[in-house]
């Protein structure tokens, strides 16, 4: 496989690679490499969900999302999401359960996002990074479901985490 | 806003941009620009779902997905998905209904994917592009749900389309 490195940044790198396909043909592919991430749906003891409103430069607007972050080096998804839950939402979790995993856009990118649910939450002071502008948004499951149905939640990891949570038996 | 173009390819382009954040600070962001895409969950008259198995160079393996493609120029999502449904799955749809839309990874990428359900399908000869290796996979809704629950479907647009479909009232 021939590979030409195009860009190596802080968050992503980009290669143009020639791959042999299963049918024996060769193809040229533009590929975004990402170290992977983790995202968490935090659930308060009263059942409310902890979402965040975060400005996203890539789309030039503020989105409703769940807390999430990029894996640093060989960090485990659990360690990553424990850090992000503290920094972005201001909670420590007593219980962290895997909810699934997703490839965000495998047509051109290798990013895997590991999804979790966090329960038994204890508030701690949030500490967002300098380039993160984040506000918490506490929603009942009913309000979150309505916001999703009305198109107010467009971030794929957040949509997926909510739908997976709503599809489990213990969800209201 | 200062922007430095890094790469301009066939599928994506990459910029490094300096943005002013809502709090007045400035941040430097690596941003992947993508023209957007469309994806469709095709449903046969007998209720079976038309999925595809497709080799994905970015992750080096074959994934179970729904038919999808990239918007060409100013193409509408409906026109895009009509073309991809024919090319990748070999069907013409009598009815196309919007199912939602998603941002695949807004932390660093502006890609929007428009999701549809297609019904009243008529088979036509598929015509995949040269660098696409695609096999159809017809599944009952029950089998698709099992495959999803067992972790056999990891592509986010496919996970989301299936969960949105299963959450509607007419799904089995």
Separation in Å, CA of B58 to nearest CA in chain A:
5
pLDDT at A171: 55
Separation in Å, CA of B128 to nearest CA in chain A:
13
List pLDDT tens digits, range B73-124: 999 999 999 999 999 999 999 999 999 999 999 999 999 999 999 999 999 9
- Choice among B30, B65, B78, B130 that is catalytic: B130
Check pLDDT > 90 for residue B159: yes
Interface size A-B, in CB pairs within 8 Å, comes to: 185
Query: What is chain B's Cα-based Rg?
Result: 18
Contacts B11 to A, Cβ<8 Å: 30, 107-108
Contacts B131 to A, Cβ<8 Å: 21, 25, 27-29
DSSP A72: P
Domains and CATH numbers, chain A: 1-34 (no CATH), 35-166 (3.90.79.10)
Reported as a pLDDT band with limits 50, 70 and 90, residue B170 is: low
pLDDT at A145: 96
**Nearest C-alpha neighbor of A151 from the set B158, B103, B40:** B103
The gap from C-alpha B68 to its chain's centroid, in whole angstroms, comes to 4
Question: Which backbone phi and psi does B157 adopt, to 5 degrees?
Answer: -65, -35
List pLDDT tens digits, range B27-60: 999 999 999 999 999 999 999 999 999 999 999 9
Please name the residues between 113 and 152 in chain A that touch chain B, using a CB distance below 8 Å: 113, 130-131, 133, 151
CA A119 to each of CA A46, A95, B99: distance values in angstroms, whole numbers, following the listed order: 11, 5, 31
pTM of the prediction? 0.96
Please name the residues between 79 and 118 in chain B that touch chain A, using a CB distance below 8 Å: 100-113
Q: In what order do the strands lie in the sheet with B37-42?
A: B68-70, B37-42, B112-123, B91-103
pLDDT at A35: 98
The series of mean pLDDT values per 10 residues for chain A, 172 residues long, is: 90 95 91 98 97 96 97 97 95 97 98 98 85 90 96 98 87 54
**Nearest C-alpha neighbor of B171 from the set B30, B76, B41:** B41
């Amino acid at each position: 496989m021939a590979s030409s490195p195009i860009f190596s940044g802080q968050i992503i790198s980009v290669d143009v690679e020639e791959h042999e396909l299963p049918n024996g043909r060769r193809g040229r592919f533009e590929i975004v490499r990402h170290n992977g991430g983790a995202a968490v749906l935090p659930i308060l003891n009263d059942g409310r969900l902890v979402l965040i409103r975060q400005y996203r430069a890539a789309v030039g607007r503020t989105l409703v999302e769940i807390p999430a972050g990029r894996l640093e080096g060989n960090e485990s998804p659990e360690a990553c999401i424990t850090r992000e839950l503290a920094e972005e939402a201001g909670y420590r979790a007593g219980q962290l359960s895997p909810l699934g995993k997703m490839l965000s856009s495998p047509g051109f990118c290798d990013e895997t996002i590991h999804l979790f649910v966090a329960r038994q939450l204890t508030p701690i002071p949030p500490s967002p990074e300098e380039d993160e502008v984040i506000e918490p948004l506490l929603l009942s499951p009913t309000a979150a479901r309505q916001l999703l149905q009305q198109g107010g939640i467009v971030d794929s990891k957040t949509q997926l985490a909510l739908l997976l949570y709503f599809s489990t038996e213990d969800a209201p």
